[in-house]
Amino acid sequence: MLICVPDVLTKDDVADFRHIMDTAEWEDGRSTAGSQSALVKQNEQLPPTGETARKLGERILVALAANPLFISAAVPLRIFPPLFNRYGAGQYFGEHVDNSIRGDHLTGMRIRTDLSVTLFLAEPGEYDGGALIVDDYYGSHEVKLPAGHLVLYPSTSLHMVTPVTRGTRVASFFWLQSMIRDAHARSLIFDLDTTIQELVERLGRNDPEVRRLTNIYHNLIRFWAEL
């Protein structure tokens, strides 16, 4: 299941990110690729342990912590420090899999990659091509979102970024380990939470059935969560 989360960053934040990134040093994107994906990866990225990536990444983590839709959909346990990349004309990232485990050299953090995240930092009109294509059981999905929006997709999927033919595609990307490992269980939790929020709008938080459904929601989290 792919889930889009709008307005994670404001347009002002995006402009500030872009300004900071424009003056930063970039490196070959293959430095963080596994051996298979290095063969099909052509882009640039901010050095992952550099100050620019860390500071901007920290701002993204703060924004995510305040985003109810993201929390509800991902139920995150640990989020990998966000990375940043850009694709100029002719650059692309062919079909690949993401590594199942990712370690961060600076913090020693290790996570199992349950969900992959792309946070778009360029408007769709700034570039042609550069779509994220995700293959799952339901087929092939093409994603290209406004700047400041993100997409969550299963790290188990094969995916790619099509060649950019004009302009520059700028994004942040990272992975997370969810408290709920099983994707099906996670989607049930998300569905239930979304339904409860809609009922709260209509009936209020103190409605007896809303209370019981909320109890069921928390009991399912108790049943499935791994910390």
Residues binding Ni ion (CB under 5 A): 98
Q: Choose between 9 and 33: whose C-beta lies nearer to Ni ion.
A: 33
Cross-strand bridge partners of residue 135: 140, 158
Smallest distance, Ni ion to C-beta of residue 187, A:
21
Structure tokens at 8: 């994670």
Cα end-to-end span (Å), the chain: 23
Residue in the shown chain whose Cβ atom is closest to Ni ion: 98
Crossing angle for the helix pair 11-22 and 51-65, nearest 10 degrees? 170
The 10 Å Cβ neighbour count of residue 123 is: 16
Smallest distance, Ni ion to C-beta of residue 119, A:
14
Residue 121 burial (10 A CB sphere; 0-12, 13-18, 19+): buried
126 and 168 Cβ atoms separated by less than 8 Å? yes
Q: Choose between 44 and 98: whose C-beta lies nearer to Ni ion.
A: 98
96 and 41 Cβ atoms separated by less than 8 Å? yes
Smallest distance, Ni ion to C-beta of residue 116, A:
6
Q: Choose between 149 and 159: whose C-beta lies nearer to Ni ion.
A: 159
Read off the amino acid at residue 35.
S
143 and 134 Cβ atoms separated by less than 8 Å? yes
Smallest distance, Ni ion to C-beta of residue 214, A:
36
Smallest distance, Ni ion to C-beta of residue 79, A:
16
Smallest distance, Ni ion to C-beta of residue 206, A:
44
Q: Choose between 116 and 178: whose C-beta lies nearer to Ni ion.
A: 116
Structure tokens at 110: 């290790």
